[in-house]
Amino acid sequence: MKIEPLHDQVAIKKDEAGPRTAGGLYIPPSAQEKAVTGEVIAVGPGRITETGQHVPMQVKVGDRVLFGAYVGLEMEVDKHKVFIVEERNLLAKVAR
C-alpha cells in the first residue's frame, strides 16, 4: 500500500527502540523518553493559507525527525507502524 499525505501532513516510520540499553539493562516504558525519532517516508504538498498563499513543506522524504510520542495518528502500513503527523508538530530534524 502506498500512502500519500494531504496538505501539511507527514508520514513517519518510527524508529523501534528496544526496551534494553546497550549493556542489557531493562528500561520500563514509564522511564523511556517521551520524544521519538523516525524517518519521513511521505509528505503532503504543503498548506494553503487563508489568503491562498502556498506554504511549502520544510521536510522531505528521507529526513530523520524528532516528534512527540503522543502526537499524530498511528496506523499500520505493510506491517510497519506509521505515524501521520502535522508538520507543525515535528520538533526538529535530526542530523545524520
What's this model's pTM, rounded to 2 decimal places? 0.77
Average pLDDT, integer, range 26-33: 58
- What is the second-level CATH architecture of the domain 9-93? Roll (2.30)
- C-alpha grid cell, residue 30: 514509564
List, for residues 6-17, the tens digit of each pLDDT value.
Answer: 999 999 998 776
Domain-by-domain residue ranges, the chain?
9-93
List, for residues 31-58, the tens digit of each pLDDT value.
Answer: 555 568 899 999 999 999 999 999 999 9
